[in-house]
Amino acid sequence: MIHRPTSPADDSNSLERYVIPNLRNACWIMKLLALHADGLKAAEIARNLKIPVTTTLRIMATLQLEGYVRKMEGRFELGPVLIHLGNASLAGTEIRTAALPVLQELTNRTDETSHLALPCDDRALIVAVQDSPHPLRAASRPGTLAELHCSSTGKTFIAFLHQHRLEELFGKGRLTKRTAHTQDTLGEVRKEAAITRKRGYSLDDEEFNLGVRCLAAPIYSSDGIAVAAIGITAATVRFTRERIPELGAIVMESAARLSRLMGYQAR
């Protein structure tokens, strides 16, 4: 069983003074739930970790709201957000290292900026960028969190990873309309996801920034889960609509190469 610590493992550990008690309690609750596939009631969690029931209920409400836990028939279990975070954690370092030469080759072939993104709950996290030789560059920098519905990597995750969560992610009203071209309804997101799955790549057609066009394709892990997306970003004066099929094919080739490096075998 999981028991909360009563004292630091090392009294010299200066980090202990900065601990937020209920944040630590939330961490211990998730560790406890990981040991119970059938879930636990709030009272059971409180009793095991010696946390007041009222405090436990507040923590569980917060975790449930953010997707870290879910409640099924009165019992709490780990939520879907942790799947995406776990995939990103496992794939993050390995895939970024493997992706760097692929990004370099992609930029060399297209003459445009290429980038790698990982899913981060309801955003796409840019983790690596290979700049174009052109002085005019439009790509986001590493560390950028892009909205899913209006970015190419985000649209890739919608189509190939989050396809069963669209109502949960986008069913609460209109989405942020960054430009006049941004698709901002659930119906539009569904339609675009179907198009993306059919052709194998996603397209941000001036939906995130005016004058910028982006294209991305999914990267699969050895178990067939879309764990990342690779794409290119360019000014529309260079990346014209006529070039979309050509560049789409190149990006999908790069995505397939990186997927193979991650152990994926297409069926």
Q: Could you tell me the CATH number of the domain that includes residue 48?
A: 1.10.10.10
- Of 79, 103, 133, the one marking the end of a domain is 79
Query: For position 183, what pLDDT does the model report?
Result: 93
Q: Of the candidates 234, 207, 5, which has an alpha carbon nearest to the alpha carbon of residue 107?
A: 234
Domain assignment of residue 171, yes or no: yes
Task: Please identify, among 48, 79, 110, the residue that sits at the C-terminal boundary of a domain.
Answer: 79
**Structural domains counted in the chain:** 2
Match 């211990």 to its residue by tokens.
28
pLDDT of residue 125: 87
Q: Please write the tens of the pLDDT for every residue from 198-253.
A: 999 999 999 999 999 999 999 999 889 999 999 999 999 999 999 999 999 999 99
Question: Is the same domain home to 49 and 98?
Answer: no
How far is 39 from 182, CA to CA, in rounded Å? 40
- Asked whether residue 55 is assigned to any structural domain, the reply reads yes
pLDDT tens track for 147-187: 999 999 999 999 999 999 899 888 877 899 999 999 999 99
Share of the chain above pLDDT 90, in %: 64
| Chain Cα centroid distance, residue 57 | 28
Same domain, 148 and 239: yes
Q: Mapping DSSP to helix (H, G, I), strand (E, B) and coil, where does residue 254 land?
A: helix
Expressed as residue numbers, the domain containing 32 is 14-79
Q: Does residue 8 lie in a domain region?
A: no
Average pLDDT, the chain: 88
Q: Using CA atoms of 85, 193, 253, 210 in order, give the dihedral in degrees to the nearest 10.
A: -90
Q: Do 65 and 34 contact (CB within 8 A), yes or no?
A: no
Residue 8 has pLDDT above 60, yes or no: no
**Phi then psi for 18, rounded to 5 degrees?**
-100, 5
Query: Tokens 């409400």 belong to which residue?
Result: 61
Percentage of the chain with pLDDT > 70? 89
Same domain, yes or no: 26 and 116: no
DSSP 181-222: T---SHHHHHHHHHHHHHHSSEEEESSSSTTEEEEEEEEE-T
Residues 136 and 211 in one domain: yes
Q: Which residue has the tokens 């009294």?
A: 11
Which residue is it, tokens 């700049």? 131
pLDDT at 202: 98
Distances (CA, A) of 239 to 136, 198, 201: 12, 22, 15
Q: Burial level of 65, CB count in 10 A (0-12/13-18/19+)?
A: exposed
Q: With cut-offs at 50, 70 and 90, classify the pLDDT of residue 133.
A: confident
Q: Is the pLDDT score of 9 beyond 50? A: no
Residue that wins the pLDDT comparison between 232 and 127: 232
Q: Give the separation between CA 103 and CA 132, rounded to whole angstroms.
A: 11
